[in-house]
Every structure is written in structure tokens, then in C-alpha cells.
Structure 1
Amino acid sequence: MKFSEEKLRLFAAPLSETEDQKCKNAIGMVRDALKDIGFTDDGKTIEKLYADTYSYSLEMRNATKNRKVKLFVKGSYANNTNVRTESDVDIAVVLESTFKVKYRPNINDAKYGFSNSTDNVMTFKDDVEDALRKKFGSDVERKNKSIKIHGNTYRVDADAVPCMRHRDYSNDYNSDPNNFIGGIFIRSDDGQTIINYPEQHIRNGREKNNQTNTYYKKMVRIIKKMRYIMQDENYESANNVSSFGLESLLWNLPNGVFTKYTIYRYAFGEITEYLWKNSHMLPFYKEANGIKPLCESTIDVEKYTRFIKDLYNFYEYDI
């Protein structure tokens, strides 16, 4: 399918400033609900993790239950790579005062002065759900990994993800409680446990974008849009990769691939050609957080290889 420069520029454009307010409002919704069950923000305002992102954040505490939490916008809105304005705003609701840990061999809690807690992530999820239901009533729906707040004419759709801080001390050799890699630990209702690194994702994407004269996120928006178009054209491979996966895929590419051309149709052509010629590198690629592998199995490698091949053959540009 042929794409004009005008069409690609449309695909590459970031969402409007109204999306910025949408993210801030979503944080405010969760904040107000938590206040109704005893949390306080101590008068702090909602601020961005980074000035040039939409990832708003706020810390709160509940003295009665001795809980500290951090709220922040994550996902495509936080990274300003969203291409569908109807998408939900994802909000991490992170329990910081109780956390999961990973140590080096033969290291335990006592080495760091930690003690066991009766608090846990599922109890926390129940409490967050209760707070949201008290605030928004029947518009709240519990999902496997999140709690959805259905929007209306004056409120945005949002997915609150109750989780617990994950602290990885594998590279700490001084028993320093503050020297950890911080992720989030999610336990789904069906028993799955997931560890993700959304804050590193936001930071790395921002750095990559600055290093490529903002072409990284432009090309991410284009490839996400291409995936949706390929789905409409019945390309099965487009159903087997995720938007986050494609954002991560491009994060692994050398900066020079993004900056070789300023014309969008040539720049994206350079992306597709590089991916096609270097698909053998897929087993070595990381997620955009720089920590987890993009492909955890040979099946994942095959899925991305097929998508890259189909994209390479699908994409053409008008001269």
C-alpha cells in the first residue's frame, strides 16, 4: 500500500494538548477516590515525572494503615505514543510501603533490616476497588489485572492498576536499602504474577526521542498506525504483536536509522528496511525499559519476524 508524505505526517503527529489534560484528570479521579478512604496528598500537586511527557504523578499516604502509594500515568499516554484518542488512560497505583524483593544468592531480608508485612497486593487491590466504587458507583468494573473506570461526557475512561513496588537488589553489594532497580509487581485475579518497569520505559523513551531529534516517537506512532491498517487488511501477523512491543522494537534500533532522513516517507522506509535486514537480532532485543527481553521464546521471535516481513512488503511510499 502506498503512503504519501502528508499521510505519514498525519500518522506521526502527537496527540493534542487536550490529551495532556486528560491524563491529569485521570490521576485526579483516583486521587479523589483514595482520599475518601483515608489517604492524603499532604497538599501536594499533581506533577509530571518528566516535563516533556504526559506521565503525571502524585504520592499519597494513609497514616491509619501505614501505607504509602505512588500514582502515575503509564503506557502509551505517558510516553506520548498513543495513536487512538479513545484509548483508556493507564494509571499505576503503586503500594510503596510494602514491596516484593529480589536478592543476590544467600542474601535475605535481615541483611537489609526488612521485616514481613501482613499487607499484600490483592488486599490492596480490593481496597482500591472499594474506593473507586464508592466514588464512581456502577461505572467501576474489576478486570483481571486492573480496575476500569468507565468514562462519560465529563469523565475520561481510565484503567487503574493496583500493584506493589518490586525492588531488585541483585546489583547491590553494600546492603543499601535505596540501591535497587524499581519495578511494579502485579498479581492478576487468575493468579498470574507480572513484573514490569514502566518508569524506566518512560525515561528511556524520552532519552531516545531526544537523541533522534524527536524522530523515534514519530516513527513509533507511524508503525503503530501501520499495524492497525494491516489488521484492517487482514494481515494475521499484525494481530500477534502489541503496540508496546512495536515501540520496544524500534527502541532497539541505532539512533542513526532515525536521523538519516528528514522526509518521513524515506525515514520510515529506512526503518522497515533495517528491521528486515536485521531480524536475526530479535533474540537480543530488550523491551523499551531496557531490562526485560522483547522476545522471551522462539515463538515470539517468529511472530515479530513475520510481522517485519509483512510490513516490509506492505509499506510503499509515493515518490
Structure 2
Amino acid sequence: MAIAEAQLETWSQQGKTGQFTDTYNSIRGNLLDASAPYPLKDVEIHLQGSYGNDTNVWADSDVDIVLCHNGAFYYDITGMSQGEQDAFKGVFSTNAAYGYNEFKKDAEGFIGGLYNGVVPGKKALHIPGNNGRRDADVLVCQQFRRYYSYEPGVHGCHYGVAFYVNGIRVENFPKQHAEKCTAKHQATNQNFKRVVRIFKNMRNTMIAKGMLADKVAPSYFIEGMLSNVPNDKYVGSYQDMFVECFNWIVAADESKLTTGSGLHWLVRDNSSVCWSSANFRTFTAALKKFWET
């Protein structure tokens, strides 16, 4: 038995954004204060996650903020020829004097002095909400470049961010993710992000009902999963779109799916930036059961 169209319509709607905007602007202003110990000219701040991508639902609470140091960068040059790699290394032969470790130390100390109760997490610093300010997670990171061509003065690369978790570097592309999801939304008559919210609300409801464990299906992976679905599946009623998108996903070769940015595979085991095959299949199986019951 399908979920009622009226319920899907409700789930498709974006959650409130006013308080989130105030939270972001307030924290951003503090992070760019002249008293900050890091070089402000080399700092970039932007949103990522559900609020940054306009896929937030009513249950979303945390505001995800990126604090990125652009005065130095990590890189991946494995996609270039040996000659291009040699040319690159001839130009960038030394490490920056002020890099990620120095920036992270300065930023964490500064943020800890700005707010009470800051909690260092696995990836980000958690700032508890207070007096109308929502909870926020601040990811302290450094610019990352994935090169695909290089000649002195002329190069091609994808710009992202990088940070370390338990000694392992994590590389991601939040801007490309947001840009491609927005383009997908526009190409589907404004339906892509509505369907993302439906899938997210279904996930939240399943968690509340004990049908799905928490953290099996992060919003980032749901957005990425649905970004692979052809545009012609995003037509008709919400019931039609759910069925068409779901059927396409479960029939697809999961090893060929990409994240929203298109720069990582979506489903891979033992990867910090990919969805495990077990969790991907658990989520799709739970969706089928929830839809039918």
C-alpha cells in the first residue's frame, strides 16, 4: 500500500530556515573577527549539508559550516602523466610554513574561547545552540586539489577540502556537490530536492519506528544516490516519482553510482567518503518495506 500523496506532499516541503540563517551569520561573523589567530585573508567560510543544499526538513537541527584554510593545500596528482607530475613537483617542492596542523590548532582554540561547551567530534567541532541559535558543527579543514592536468602557469584541477580523522586524510568536494544538486533541481522542474526531502523524511520516520538504525543513511548519501537518477524519472505525482526513482536505484549497478559531486563513487566498502554496500542495501530494503506496509 503506497504512502498517501498528501503525506508525500508534506514531506517534500523545506523546513524553516530563519533561525538557521541567523545562526550561520552569527558564527561566520565571529570566525572572521579581527582577533582570530589565523590569517583571515586565507580563510573561506561556507555552508555544507542539508541547509547549504536547501534539502533540510523539519527534523534537521545542526547547521554545518566549513572553515577552510586556503593559504596551503593538499593535493592528488595521480590522475596526471608522469611528466605533468614531475612539472608539478618542480614548482611545489616544499611544504607551507603554516598548514593544516597549525590552522586546526589555532581555529579550535579560538572557537573554544568563543562558545561555551564546544565538543570536538570525529570530524567537526560541535557548538551547542543557545538563545535562539541552533546547534552547529564547524569543519576545520584545508583546501584540497585533485589535479588532472598540469603545465607551469596552466593547470586543471577540482578544488575541494581535506581534513584528517584518526590519521587518515578525508577529501571531499562540498561546493561541487551543492552546485550539481542545484543544477539537477533546475533540470527536473524543481522536483529533485523535493524528492530528496521525501526520502529523508521517510528515513527519519523509519528510525523513529525502529525500522532503521540511526546513521545508516546520512543525508549526504541520500542526495548523492538520487542525483544519479535520470531526470525523466522526476515527473508526475510524488507517488509516481518515488516509485520511478526507487525502481531505478535498485535496478542500477551500485558500483557505478557516484556521489552528488560526481567526484567519488557512492557505494564502496572500507572508504571514509563512500556509503558501505551493506548500509546502502539496508536502506533500500527498509524503504521498500516501509512503502509497502
Scaled by the length of structure 2, the TM-score of the pair is: 0.87
The residue that corresponds to 1:122 in the other structure is 101
Which of 136, 141, 150 aligns to 1:163? It is 141
Structure 2 Cα separation of the partners of residues 309 and 38 of structure 1: 48
Aligned partners of 2:203 and 2:212 also within 8 Å: no
- Percentage of matched positions with identical amino acids: 24
Matches within 5 A, 1:210-229: 210-229=186-205
Measure how far apart 1:85 and its partner are: 4.5
After TM superposition, list the pairs within 5 Å mapping 1:275-314 onto structure 2.
275-276=249-250, 278-279=251-252, 281-297=253-269, 300-314=276-290
Task: Work out whether 1:187 is the aligned partner of 2:170.
Answer: no
- Report deviation, 1:117: 1.1
CA contact (8 A) 2:228 2:257 kept: yes
Partner Cα separation in structure 2 for residue 70 and residue 213 of structure 1: 32
The structure-2 alpha-carbon separation of the partners of 1:153 and 1:237, relative to structure 1 and needing over 3 Å to count, comes to closer
Aligned-residue CA RMSD (Å): 2.5
Quick one: which of 201, 225, 249 aligns to 2:225? 249
Partner of 2:54: 80
Q: 1:135 to 1:232 in 2, by over 3 A?
A: closer
Alpha-carbon offset, residue 221 of structure 1: 0.4
User: Secondary structure at 1:160's aligned position in 2?
Assistant: strand
Q: Any residues of structure 2 matched to 1:52-91 within 5 Å, and which? A: 61-62=39-40, 68-91=42-65
Between the aligned partners of 1:254 and 1:161, the Cα distance in structure 2 is 32
Letter in 1 for 2:103: F
Deviation by residue 1:92-114 (Cα, 9 ceiling, x = unmatched): 11100111122235425444456
For residues 297 and 85 of structure 1, the distance between their equivalents in structure 2, rounded to whole angstroms, comes to 29
Structure-1 separation of matches of 2:212 and 2:129: 31
Q: Is the contact between residue 230 and residue 238 of structure 1 (CA under 8 Å) also seen in structure 2?
A: no
Please state how far the C-alpha of 1:209 moved relative to its aligned partner: 0.3
Structure-2 separation of matches of 1:238 and 1:157: 19
Deviation at 1:235, TM superposition (A): 2.6
Cα distance in 1 for partners of 2:105, 2:143 equals 17
Report if aligned partners of 2:36, 2:110 keep a CA contact under 8 Å in 1: no
Return 5+ residue gaps in structure 1 as ranges. 40-59
TM superposition shift of 1:200: 0.4
CA distance 1:253–1:270, shift in 2 (3 Å): same
How far residue 179 of structure 1 moved from its aligned partner, in angstroms, is: 2.9
User: CA distance change for structure 1 residues 135 and 310 in 2, over 3 Å: closer, same or farther?
Assistant: closer
Runs in 1 of length 4+ with deviation above 6 angstroms?
Answer: none
Q: Determine the structure 2 residue equivalent to 1:3.
A: 3
Q: Quick one: distance in 1 between partners of 2:94 and 2:154?
A: 13
Structure 1 residues 157 and 257 mapped into 2: Cα distance closer, same or farther (>3 Å)?
same
Please give the alpha-carbon distance, in whole angstroms, between the structure 2 residues aligned to 1:33 and 1:307.
37
The farther-off stretch of 234-243 and 153-162 is 234-243
Q: Describe the shift of the 1:175–1:312 C-alpha distance in structure 2 as closer, same or farther (beyond 3 A).
A: farther
For these two proteins, the number of residue pairs brought into alignment is 284
Mapped partners of 2:102, 2:90: distance in 1: 27
Which deviates more, 295-304 or 198-207? 295-304
1:174-201: CA deviation from partner (whole Å, max 9, x where unpaired): 334663211100113x323200110000
Partner of 1:3, secondary structure, is coil
2:55·2:193 contact (CA, 8 Å) conserved in 1?
A: yes
**Alignment partner, residue 31 of structure 1:** 29
- TM value normalised by structure 1: 0.80
Q: How far does the alpha carbon of each residue in 1:63-86 deviate from its partner, in whole angstroms, 9 at most, with x for none?
A: xxxx60110011111001122445
Unmatched 5+ stretches in structure 2: none
CA distance, structure 1, for counterparts of residue 162 and residue 91 of structure 2: 20
Aligned to 2:185: 209
